Structure formats: structure tokens, C-alpha cells
Structure 1
Amino acid sequence: MSDDRNIDFVLRTVEKRNIRFIRLWFTDVLGTLKSFAISAEDLEEAFEEGIGFDGSSVDGFVPLEESDMLAFPDASTFQILPGNSSEGPSARIICNIATPRREPFEGDPRTCLKTFFGNLDEKGYVANIGPRIEYFYFASDGSARPNQARPLDYAGYFDLTSFDSSSDLRRDTTMMLERMSVPVEYNFHSSAPSQNAVELRFTEALTAADNIITARYVIRSMAQANGVLASFMPKPMSAYTGSGMFLYQSLFDLDGNNVFWGPRDGDSDAPHAHFSEVGCQYMAGLLKYAPEYTLICNPTINSYKRLVPSGDAPAYATWGFKNRNALVRVPMHKPGKHQSARCELRSPDPSANPYLAIAATLAAGIRGIEEKLVLPSEVNAETLAKGPAELARLGVAALPRTLGEALDVFEKSELMREVLGDHIVSYMLEAKHKEWDEYCSAVTDWERDRYYAGI
């Protein structure tokens, strides 16, 4: 459907369904969802001319003297919001941000991914992403913070018992997502107490990022409506595993063929009997450039409490089939099925901006193809247990262990600057250096408990 036909469909639907207000969505550089509402009478003008707003009030956008920005609704993202208010039904549309000259704004994360996706098309590829998002439910006292991080249950992975008090909420959340045209593969109770997961179906990269933004909104909204707090904090409890935003990735050519599929008969050195050379080069790019995109995929101080060697998240740039401590894993659920050939990137967490995380990691994989990188040998769990010194001797690269380390690598990355642009890179460096400096000067309860009376 062309954009003009999308717009005509949206305008007819708004009139037919008597929709009074349309919420326009976009994110700031860090991935926080922003929204403002317009009346149905202003929607046609919004499609043609955009809606002006103060960009200086949005983190990472523009300074005060350059504050005028335009939000252009993308008609393909139109969705009627479930439930009716006293004013009648409402809808949402995700926007692309532009300058007053109607030029794409380089600080808009969605525009960044959209531009990269267009460049990918010129190279002859279409990228598909299947996200799995983990999160926690906590008891809420009505404030914005968990009530001493008190879980709702102590169920475990895939449990279906009376201990899983979140099952009904997960079901209702999934139904809400389906009503908003976000297809869900499945949902389940994850490993830690009150930790849940929703896996979204594969779709092309830009839609996948839109779906992640929508899923986070729906998960939070449904939790709040039930008196619960949903948290996407990567590791809210020290004693339990953290939450990831796993990205299943695959590339297709313009004829719809999965280029990660490619059996190489007689090639005994092939890492996988049904994984193509292009797929191996792509994974090699994910490994080589992992330290450079880590800041984008793991953007908070807390992110690095999850990326530790003793956890179930990756701490090293490795790949494998069965090892879930690997950075990149090749799932083997459907061996021999061409279209399902894919790799799973396990480092991102749900605090990341999905538009930037998907753009940065796709770029790393594509760079691996362009450089014809050779995929190193698989590293198993036994090898990973050898310790940092032995792993370094074996040439296994460690991921950044702190936000400060990630900043140092990111700042030197030509690839990230090329993909994300100067505006986003400069803001990320400024904002995250400030966050790191504040953290380094803060005195924590752990320090007081350890040193207050003992020194």
C-alpha cells in the first residue's frame, strides 16, 4: 500500500469510527516515549505539513535557539487504541521528526534506523528482527519506584503453577498487543522471581523497533491498571538474573530468500551445515564490533550489573549453538527450514533505544559481510570458565565491564559515528559521561556497609 493510500485509509477510518483525538508518538535519543495529542480535524494537515513542537524540551534534540521541529505522522503505524474514554475512541500514529525545512532530523532515532534500512535495501538486503523482551513485575505503592523491589511471585522458568501470579496479566497484555497489531509469538514466566518475557514475531527492522516501543508502553500501562509496576531495569535484584532484549536477526535478499541459509556440502570446516558463508561473516561482524555498539545496547549504569561472567548474559564476544552465555547464538529449533535460519544477539537489554540498537547491530553485521570476516571458532561454556587471563591468551575479546569502559570504546568508533551520525553520538557521549561521573562520585549502601566501621 502506497503512503497516499495509507493516508486515505487512515482519514476514512478516523471519520468512520468517530475518533476524536490522535496521539502522535516518537522517542528521544535515549528511547523515552514522547507523545502529544491532536484533534481529528488537524490530522490531514499533519500528514501534509507536519505538526510543530518545541524540540529544545526533548532530551538530545536541539538547543533553545533552534527549538522549532516538525512531527510527521507515518500513516502505516496508525492504530486505534483499545478502550474508550469519555470523549470516544482515540488512536496513535508514530512520527518521523523533521526540521522546519522538512529535512529529516539527524537526532531522531527512528529516522536513523529508517535511513539505514533504506541503505540496506540499496545493498540488496532486507533485515528481519524478532525481539524477545524480559521485564519484572513488582508490588507498587503508587509511586514510580518499586516497593523495595518486592516480586509478585517466586515462580521459575516456564512455570505454570499457582506461584505464577502474573499469568493472567501476561495473557491480558498479550491480547492488548494483538489488538494493536503487534503479533506475539509467545509469552512466559522467565527465570527470576516475577520476571516475565514476551517474544514478538519476526518483521522487518523498522516495524520491529516500532513494535518494541509499543510493547513497552502496553506492558507498563496494563501493569499500572492492575496496581503493579512493570520495570525494564536490566538488573533490579542482585541475587537474580537480569532482563535482556534479545534480538533474533536474519537477512533476506530482495526476492525473499534468507541469505543466512546456505548448506555447503563437503565443507568440513563450515561452522554450521545449514548456515551460509554470508551468515558467518555477519556473525563475525557482530563479534568484532561488539565493544563499539555495547553503549547503545546497554546504555545504563545498571546494564553492566547484568553483563558479568557469572551470570547468564554474555561477558565476552563469543558465539555458539547451545551456550547461552555467548554473545551470539545460532538457534537450532527448526533445522533444515530455510526461512528460519537466524542468529540471536543476547547482549542488548530493555533499557536500550530499539531504533538505535537495531541500527547499530545491523551495521556491525553488514560490516562483517563487507569485510569478509572469518568467523572464529565456537567457544563453549567450559572454555568461558577458564578466566579472563586464559581467555585473553586465546584471543577472546571481553565486552566492556562498566559504562565508563563502554564510553571509551564508543567514542573511538568510526562505525557508530557513520551509522548513528554526529548528532546522536555527541549527545550520547555527553549524557552518558555525565551519568558515569555522577555514579562515580555517589556513595552507595554497599560502601557504607563495607567500609564505614571497618577502616
Structure 2
Amino acid sequence: MSVLNETKLQEIKEIIETKNVELLHMQFVDLEGTLKNVTITAEQLEDAVEGKIMFDGSSITGFSPINKSDLYLQPDLNTFAVLPWSVEDGYSEARFLCSVKNPDGTLFEGDTRNVLKNTVAKAAEQGYTISVGPELEFFLFQTDEDGRPLLKTHDVAGYFEPSPHDLGEKVRLQIYRALKAMGFTIEASHHEVAEGQHEINFKYADALTAADNSTTYKWVVKTIAKQFGLHASFMPKPVFGINGSGMHVNMSFFKDGQNAFFDETAPLQLSETATQFIAGLLENVKNFAAVTNPLVNSYKRLVPGYEAPCYVAWSASNRSALIRIPAKRGLATRVELRCPDPSANPYLTFAVIAAAGLDGVNRGLTPVASVNEDIFHMSNEERAERGIDNLPGSLELAVEALEEGTIGREVLGEHVFGEYVALKKAEWDSYRTSISSWEVENYQAKF
């Protein structure tokens, strides 16, 4: 163990003793980014740090066959946090986020956290570090007497409305306090455009930390909402006729401590690296949309009229474009991809976005001209004349594009790619063959 890790481990031991931590939750994510955990006692800390905690990988979506089911958890010491809601009678619980390893100690190729690690390592070989600032929106829904979610939103407030209309203020305050206690730096909190919709923004970080934070954020939001008798949903489009929830991903590359996307002398102060990165996203986005927008429901959000992008274009300010360049420059220069939604696995999402951008840099691609007009109000003919393409219109088309392209297989690796495509095809087939309430309402009496 390195000196740095030894120091960190000693800090953790002191916190465990001071906070009387009894239980440690060893957390990891499955193929879809759903959080899982194995709980051990604080007395097993040394075994955990040495990677000796085993679990059955055959029971986890997209992991191992039953004849190769033994996998091990390797905690990331930097993710240790006491759970603020667990403190009771002087005792508490804590968690680690873990990577998954094979019995021989090698990284398990089916662990999506390891997929992102591989992408970060490839960027590092070229001298780049990846900075990511995600923005995850969510809804608060009321629940029935059994605690099951209803489709009735917690309030009917709108964008940036304060109390008494914004009934989520107290919920967001407790979420903020919990996240802050777990080491987050919160930058903003507000009611979003749709009824019952909210957003809490946390500070950007390196790609792996940002994915860890996104995973933790979703867990904390749901946990705190439950304490208020509410259900927090990161479903992309839970209610017809109002805005859906996005996960805008702000990304930049740094080199030698400087933002590689900033060039004070260039047009828009965007460096050649930045424009090549944009070109890489534009070229690859249709082939990775099944990762950034992974559900049947994701494509109910990506339609005109609700602020979500559905056209492949970029702009320095235009929010109807798929890619936007926020106004800040210098170290804050970044590219914002607006199509991802919060149901996506953040490890896979950040990996494919970074790899797509890096592909543009490595191939020296040049983006098409930016679009500053409102794309939503253009006619089909106008968009065709400008060469503005559409994102896939369904999960079926997105999965087909994922299979046809090369970036998915290259970034995800054979194991994750194969399992992911199979999972999404099964999801689409289940949706395709189900009978919806719309069909019953429109056809049962008529025919």
C-alpha cells in the first residue's frame, strides 16, 4: 500500500473510532448503474482494504455466469463517508464505493467503474485529465399509504419559484446537508421548469469522482425523499405534457494544469482541441445514444417542445442545440452535452462522451458550422438544408446504431458491450410486445 493510502486508511480508522461506526456498506454498481452493496462490520476493515470481501457475481445484472460467480470488492478509500442519516444513539454507519476484481486480483471487465477507469487511463496516455460537471434533475412524487409512488407531483411550482409554491425547499435542504456531510461541495439548488421537478448542482471533479458523486447523489436524493414520505424519480419522462429530466454533462480536458479547451486568441476562445472534441461528439453521438439515453422512456423526453435536444448541432449559446458552450472561459471553458438523462449509468456515460471527444481530437476532425437559431422552430426542410440530423427516435434505433458503430465496443469492451446490447434488446422487445393503456383507450371500444 502506498504512503498516501496508508495515511488515508489511518484517517478512516480515526473517523470510525470517533464516530463509533459499526457497519461498513461496500457499494458498487451493476450494468445499468444501479447501486448495490454488501454490508460488513467495522472490525472487517482490514480484510476489506485488502480486497477479501467476496460476493456472488452471477446474481448481478450483466456480471458473471454461475460457473464463474466469485468476485471481490476493492474499496476506493477516497469514497469513504459516514452516512449522516445513520447516526443514532452515538453510533453510525459508513460506506465505500468499490471496484470489482476477479479472484486473481485483476480488474473485472464487467464492472462499469473499471470501464471508466480504462478511458481515463487512455486519455492520460496522451497527457489529458478529464474534468466533468454533471447536472442531474429529478422529480418528487407523492406516495400512497403503502409508500408506493403515485404520478401526482409533490407541488405545482415552476422554474426558480420560491416558497410557498416550491414545496421541495425543505427536502432539498436536507439533501444538501446530507451531501455536504459526505464531502460534496454544493453550488446551487432550485426548483426546475416542470411541476415537482428539482435540481441540486454539485462541483465538477475528475471523471471517476464525478461518476462516483453522481451515483451517490441519486442514492442520497432517494433516501432523503423517502424520509419525507415522497418518491424521488430520475426517470427521464415520467409525466406526459411537461418537461422531462436531463443529466447535462459538462466536460473539459486539462493538460499540464491548463484547460486544453481554452485559447484566448481563437474564435469564441475555443482551442483547436475543443473544436475537435465537439466534432468527435457530433460524429459519434448517434452511436452512443443508447448509453447516454438507455431506456424506452428516454426517447419520450428527446422530442421537440420540452427543451430537450433532439437535433445534432452545436452552438456557443443556443439551448436548442445538442451541444452548448457555456459562456465562462479560462479554466472554466467546457463543452456541455445536453442529451444524456439521469437514468444513465454515469460511469459508462462519461466514458463514451470522453472517448468520442478524444476520437475527434486524435483524428483532427472539424465540426460543422454552429447553429445559433432556434432549431425547434425550423421546418424539416430548413434543418435538411443546414445538414442538421436527428438523434435516434427510439431505444430500438439507438441500440441498432450502437451495434453498427465502433465506439461502443471499443469503449465498453466485449463483455459489457455484449451484455448491454442483450439487455437493451430484451427491454425493447418487452416494451414492443406489451399492451399499453393508450392502445386500450383508443382501440378496445372502437374495434
Structure 1 and Structure 2 fold alike (TM over 0.5): yes
Q: SS at 2:187's partner residue?
A: strand
- After superposition, give the CA deviation of every residue in 1:249-272 in whole Å (9 maximum; x if it has no partner): 11111x21001110236xxxx3x1
The answer for the alignment partner of 2:257 in structure 1 is 256
Aligned ranges for residues 40-55 of structure 1 at < 5 Å? 40-55=42-57
1:292-371 alignment runs, 5 A limit: 292-332=287-327, 334=328, 337-371=329-363
Q: In structure 2, how many angstroms separate the alpha carbons of the residues matched to 1:10 and 1:368?
A: 42
Q: What is the CA-CA distance between 1:375 and the residue it aligns to?
A: 1.5
The corresponding residue for 1:443 is 435
Deviations 1:43-85 (A, max 9, x none): 1111113311100011110011111000011111111111314
**Aligned residue in 2 for 1:136:** 139
Partner secondary structure for residue 197 of structure 1: strand
Is the 2:163–2:169 Cα contact (8 Å) retained in structure 1? Answer: no
Question: Which of residues 46, 57, 60 in structure 1 aligns to 2:59?
Answer: 57
SS of 2:200's equivalent in the other structure is: strand
Equivalent residues in 2 for 1:23-172, closer than 5 Å:
23-83=25-85, 84-85=87-88, 88-141=91-144, 143=146, 145-147=148-150, 149-172=151-174
Q: CA deviation at 1:406?
A: 0.3
Q: 2:132–2:205: 8 Å Cα contact kept in structure 1? A: yes
> Secondary structure at the residue paired with 1:20?
strand
Check whether the contact 1:169–1:222 (CA below 8 A) recurs between aligned residues. Answer: yes
Residue 453 of structure 1: CA displacement? 3.1
Change (3 A) 1:201 1:142: farther
Say yes or no: does 1:177 pair with 2:169.
Answer: no
Aligned-pair CA distance for 1:383: 4.4
- State which of 209, 215, 218 in structure 2 corresponds to 1:216: 218
Q: Which runs of 5+ in 1 are unaligned?
A: none
Cα distance 1:345–1:383, how it changes in 2: closer, same or farther (>3 A)? closer
Tell me the matched-pair count: 444
Deviates more, 1:256-265 or 1:59-68: 256-265
Distance (Å, rounded) in 1 between the aligned partners of 2:421 and 2:379: 31
Query: Matches of 1:130 and 1:284 in 2, distance apart?
Result: 20
8 Å CA contact 1:258–1:339 kept in 2: the answer is: yes
Structure 2 gap ranges (5+) = none
Please give the alpha-carbon distance, in whole angstroms, between the structure 2 residues aligned to 1:262 and 1:408.
Answer: 38
- Do the aligned partners of residues 142 and 256 (structure 1) sit closer, same or farther apart at CA in structure 2, a change above 3 Å counting? farther
Distance 2:186 2:352 in 1: 24
What letter is aligned with 2:360?
A: G
CA-atom RMSD, angstroms?
1.6
Choose the corresponding residue for 2:6, options 4, 7, 25.
4
Task: Report the AA paired with residue 130 of structure 2.
Answer: A
CA positional deviation for 1:188: 0.5
TM-score, normalization by structure 2: 0.96
CA contact (8 A) 2:318 2:374 kept: no
Moved over 4 A (4+): 142-145
| Structure 2: distance between partners of 1:328 and 1:78 | 34
Identity of aligned residues (%): 38
Amino acid corresponding to residue 21 of structure 1 in structure 2: L
Deviations 1:112-145 (A, max 9, x none): 1112112211110111111111000011115564
Contact 2:246–2:339 (CA under 8 A) maintained in structure 1: yes
**TM value normalised by structure 1:** 0.94
Alpha-carbon distance in structure 2 between the residues aligned to 1:144 and 1:302: 23
Aligned match for 2:409, one of 409, 414, 417: 417
Q: In the TM superposition, what are the counterparts of 1:267-306 in structure 2 within 5 Å?
A: 270=267, 272=268, 274-306=269-301
Q: In the alignment, is the contact (CA less than 8 A) between 1:50 and 1:73 conserved in 2? A: no
Relative to structure 1, the CA distance from residue 384 to residue 163 in structure 2 (aligned partners, 3 Å threshold; closer, same or farther) is closer
CA contact 1:142–1:227 (8 Å) conserved in 2: no
- Equivalent-residue separation in structure 2 for 1:179 and 1:24 (angstroms): 19
8 Å CA contact 1:72–1:98 kept in 2: the answer is yes
Match among 220, 224, 228 for residue 230 of structure 2: 228
* 2:188 matched residue in structure 1: 186
Kindly state the Cα deviation for residue 172 of structure 1 after the two structures are TM-superposed.
1.4
**2:379 is the counterpart of 1:392:** no
Q: Aligned partners of 1:189 and 1:383: how far apart in 2?
A: 26
SS in 1 for 2:137: strand
- Between 1:82-91 and 1:20-29, the stretch displaced more is 82-91
